[in-house]
């Protein structure tokens, strides 16, 4: 069975109330619930975690080595600052898709550069909560190609 880790970085526990004009009104609980339902539908094991602490995110990624086939990661503000998270993604070799609810490229200049994107499989930005769903479906394709699931033609 394919296993997917969903990591939510700092301040994402405040989704739904924190700057809804930027991040939308969908809560973190709703995102996790929707992803869990998709995972059940497609026979994927899923683990959703949130932390406001860089070290805890790194610990969780390292714990996933050897038993997780993909990571959906919204690193929040760490996107632009964390060499440690970049090195962890590169070092674990677990395919990772970076997700952002807002379009970071249409916001403040300091948000335009991701230190993580160069070591990620891809990046989805600016599509709101559906970005997580799109990342999930991208991993379904990847898992099928790797023989981790069976798909009907």
In a domain, 53, yes or no: yes
Dist. CA 43–CA 149, nearest whole Å: 8
The verdict on residue 150 lying in a domain is no
Q: Is the pLDDT score of 129 beyond 90? A: yes
pTM of the model: 0.92
What is the model's pLDDT at position 151?
53
Instruction: Assess whether 78 carries a catalytic annotation.
Output: no
Report the percentage of the chain scoring pLDDT > 70.
Answer: 95
Based on the structure, what is the number of domains in the chain? 1
Give yes or no for a contact between 84 and 54, defined as CB atoms under 8 angstroms apart: yes
> Is 151 a member of any domain?
no
Going by the annotation, the residues of the binding site for substrate are: 74, 80, 87, 101-102, 111
Lowest mean pLDDT among 18-27, 40-49, 89-98: 18-27
- pLDDT digits over 141-153, tens only? 999 999 998 655 5
3-state secondary structure of 20: helix
Q: What CATH number is attached to the domain comprising 29? A: 3.40.50.9100
In a domain? residue 153: no
Place of tokens 């394709």: 141
- The backbone region for 95, taken as left when phi is positive above 0, alpha when psi lies in -120 to 50, beta otherwise, is beta
User: For residue range 102-125, what is the model confidence (pLDDT) as tens digits?
Assistant: 888 767 786 778 999 999 999 999
Catalytic residue among 8, 69, 78, 100: 100
Residue 106: domain span: 3-145
- 100 counts as catalytic: yes
């Amino acid at each position: 069975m394919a296993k997917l880790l969903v990591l939510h970085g700092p301040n994402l526990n405040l989704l739904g109330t924190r700057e809804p004009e930027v991040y939308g009104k969908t809560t973190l609980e709703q995102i996790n619930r929707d992803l869990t339902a998709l995972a059940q539908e497609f026979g994927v094991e899923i683990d959703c975690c949130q932390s406001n602490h860089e070290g805890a995110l790194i610990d969780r990624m390292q714990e996933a080595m050897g038993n997780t086939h993909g990571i959906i990661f919204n690193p929040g503000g760490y996107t632009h600052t964390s060499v440690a998270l970049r090195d962890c993604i590169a070092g674990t070799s677990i395919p990772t898709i970076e997700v952002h609810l807002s379009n970071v490229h249409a916001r403040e200049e300091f948000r335009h550069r991701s230190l993580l994107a160069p070591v990620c499989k891809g990046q989805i930005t600016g599509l709101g909560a559906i970005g997580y769903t799109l990342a999930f479906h991208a991993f379904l394709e990847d898992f099928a190609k790797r023989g981790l699931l069976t798909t009907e033609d």
